[in-house]
Structure 1
Amino acid sequence: MRKIDSHQHFWQYEAAAFPWISPGMAVLAQDRDPDDLAPILQATGVAGTIAVQARTEAAETDYLLDLAAHHDSIVGVVGWADLASPTLATQLERWSQQPKLRGFRHILQDEPDVAQVVNNPAFRRGVAELQQRGLVYDVLVFAHQMPLVIDFCKAHDAHWLVLDHLGKPPLKQPEQMPQWAQSLKALAALPHVVCKLSGLVTEAAWPFAGGLPTHVQQTVWDCFDQALEAFGPQRLLFGSDWPVCELAAPYPAVHTLARTWAATRLSETEQAAFWSGNATRCYQLNIS
């Protein structure tokens, strides 16, 4: 069964370029490149990955596309651009001959006013421009911000939108979980929104404590179950969130967590969709 990791990162670490890597994240404060990930992919049987932006600068897109041009394991790139810029169309045209550029993301979760960003007419025009070009937009928000993007997602239905990390459920604040579940269902009601089962180990078990306790695994699986009920098996994607996942668990543990869940919840056909088919369809990956 082909496996595609729909969400991972590469970087050449510079503190100023990665303000979200705090002093408590020492494991991330180092270079991470395809040669670091290659043996892990081989060991877990993952055939390819989608490299997702981690820096809020246009140079990030060029950096990831250059890596993709030299590494067959990178089957897609989700880059960054100023989507509210009046020169966005020109930038996109410059990248139009890059077959592995499959989408863009803005780190909405770090914005002090998410509503102001997603309701900005210029930003909305930018996302519409992406969709007209068949490019995906990845939605990255915390659970408490999810209600602020529902209308935005409704308005942009010309192509796929991808919810990263299940909207980051507040696993360490269980009293807030019902609101997350409600927002998840609202986004899942939009047929053009898909969901990455990624990033949950860091929501549940950071800092790393030498392994994932049984109760943490069950908590993650419970979230996966809610995503399955909401989105169905044809709109769920596997993602590792490597190397960020290493704050809580190594890649093989994240892979095993997903594999165990999928094997007990999904048919063989549905597992094939989860592991690669859905990502291939939504990101329009050109893989043989």
Structure 2
Amino acid sequence: MPPTILDSHIHLWPSTATSPKDHAWMTPGLPLAKRHGVQDYAAATAAAPVRLAGFVYVETDRHVPSASVDLRPGSSLGEGDVEAELRAWARAPLEEFAFLRRVVEGRVQEGDGARGDDGAMLKGMVIWAPFHVQEEVFGTFLRLARDVLGEEAWARVVGFRLHLTREPWLTSERRYLLQGRTAEEVKSIIGNERFVRNVKFACGKEERRLAFDVGIDAHRDGIEALEAVVALIEGVEEEEGVNFVLNHLCKPDLSTPTWPSFPRWQACMGRLSSHLNVYMKLSGALNEFAPSAAPASVDAVLDTLRPYLDCVLQSFGAHRVLFGSDWPVCNVGGPKGEARNWGFWVVVVERYLEEKGLSEKDKEWVWAKSAAAAYGIKELR
């Protein structure tokens, strides 16, 4: 019987958000610099022999004009001025929220790449928020986000992500994600008490536990950056109500079978998995291979990934491992192109789960239930 999948990691953007003023990383000629809507995703998944129950949208690193914004309520700026400054600084992220609201409410516009009923597939949204700003400003941003999203879309916010990154397929290195920074930069960002307080404030609600998605690149940023993330997570107690969801296996170096940092990466997985509020996504692998060694077959992918997948499955267990496609980024490095890379990754994961002899019940967790648990999506738990 084909698996029922809740895809825990996809990205969407309309045709109106394909320039550097909307996404600084969308440089001319980049394969991803075109519309990627729900209908495009539906076309990419249609050929795979699965039942798609829905997906979790993950923010797309919309452009902001500076790394931070220095606003101090109660000083020279009044409350209205703070909101106006925030609206100007976070113009592109707020436009992302407006796009998501149109999809959820079925009021899609030309260029959104969606139909009026596509919002039903959007089971949850992991949105961007500036966790590094002053607490008062952060609270104002969350109120703005709720206002722009509207109540129906806000109810589908299941988590947040802040992310300083560079990707191997990008020419621009000006990104606001935890990836793409030195270990010292990562430590200074996430080790800041203000950052930690904002994470607890946004995610640790008693009435609605939200997730914090962690994007870290252990390969390019150094294993020390991942170890800094481990320290952050260990400093937030489980009872404080925050679920941490690790993206893309934390991006190990897949370009070599003898990555020197593998033992330290493995140790990090052991430390992270000891906390029951930490989850891991099986996602983002296809574009991590060196271009000269891009695998062309399922067997070739598994030959490289097996040590990492074995470690993750053994450490976290099936109930805290999530399937995610990282669509459309999976199209950049995979061997089957835009039409078939999504299905290719499904086959890779399916083959691996069969190889490990997982029960049908445990497979259900990897394909859908773990994501529903991590993000609090009740209808699929």
Whether contact under 8 Å (1:7, 1:52) holds in the other structure is: yes
Give, as a single letter, the amino acid of the residue that structure 1 aligns with 2:210.
L
Q: 2:195 corresponds to which residue?
A: 123
Q: Would the alpha carbon gap of residues 182 and 212 (structure 1) be closer, same or farther in structure 2, given more than 3 Å must change?
A: same
Once the 2 structures are TM-superposed, how far is the Cα of residue 177 of structure 1 from its aligned partner? 2.1
Once the 2 structures are TM-superposed, how far is the Cα of residue 22 of structure 1 from its aligned partner? 5.8
Q: 1:18 corresponds to which residue?
A: 23
Q: 1:285 corresponds to which residue?
A: 377
Is 1:2 equivalent to 2:4 in the alignment?
yes
Q: 1:183 corresponds to which residue?
A: 268
Q: 1:142 corresponds to which residue?
A: 217
Q: Would the alpha carbon gap of residues 65 and 183 (structure 1) be closer, same or farther in structure 2, given more than 3 Å must change?
A: farther
Is 1:36 equivalent to 2:67 in the alignment?
no
Q: 2:324 corresponds to which residue?
A: 239
Give, as a single letter, the amino acid of the residue that structure 2 aligns with 1:126.
N
Candidates 336, 350, 359, aligned match of 1:267? 359
Is 1:162 equivalent to 2:245 in the alignment?
yes
1:85-96 → structure 2 map (5 Å cutoff): 85=133, 86-93=136-143, 95=146
The separation in 2 between residues aligned to 1:34 and 1:105, in whole angstroms, is 21
- Give 3-state SS (helix, strand or coil) of 1:31's partner: coil
Percent identical residues:
27
The separation in 2 between residues aligned to 1:228 and 1:195, in whole angstroms, is 9
Q: 1:216 corresponds to which residue?
A: 301
TM-score of the pair, normalised by structure 1: 0.90
Once the 2 structures are TM-superposed, how far is the Cα of residue 207 of structure 1 from its aligned partner? 6.8
Query: Would you tell me which structure has more helix in proportion to its own residues?
Result: 1
Once the 2 structures are TM-superposed, how far is the Cα of residue 131 of structure 1 from its aligned partner? 2.3
Whether contact under 8 Å (1:61, 1:80) holds in the other structure is: no
Q: Deviations over 1:211-262 (max 9, x none)?
A: 3463333212332111001111110000000110111111111111111112
TM-score of the pair, normalised by structure 2: 0.70
The separation in 2 between residues aligned to 1:13 and 1:170, in whole angstroms, is 29
Unaligned runs of 5+ in 2: 63-89, 107-118, 164-177, 335-340
Q: 2:289 corresponds to which residue?
A: 204
Once the 2 structures are TM-superposed, how far is the Cα of residue 75 of structure 1 from its aligned partner? 0.8
- Give 3-state SS (helix, strand or coil) of 1:287's partner: helix
Is 1:254 equivalent to 2:345 in the alignment?
yes
Whether contact under 8 Å (1:137, 1:161) holds in the other structure is: yes
Whether contact under 8 Å (2:18, 2:26) holds in the other structure is: no
Larger radius of gyration: 2
Once the 2 structures are TM-superposed, how far is the Cα of residue 162 of structure 1 from its aligned partner? 0.3
Unaligned runs of 5+ in 1: none
Q: Which range moved further: 13-22 or 30-39?
A: 13-22
Q: 2:130 corresponds to which residue?
A: 82
Whether contact under 8 Å (2:318, 2:362) holds in the other structure is: yes
Give, as a single letter, the amino acid of the residue that structure 2 aligns with 1:176.
S
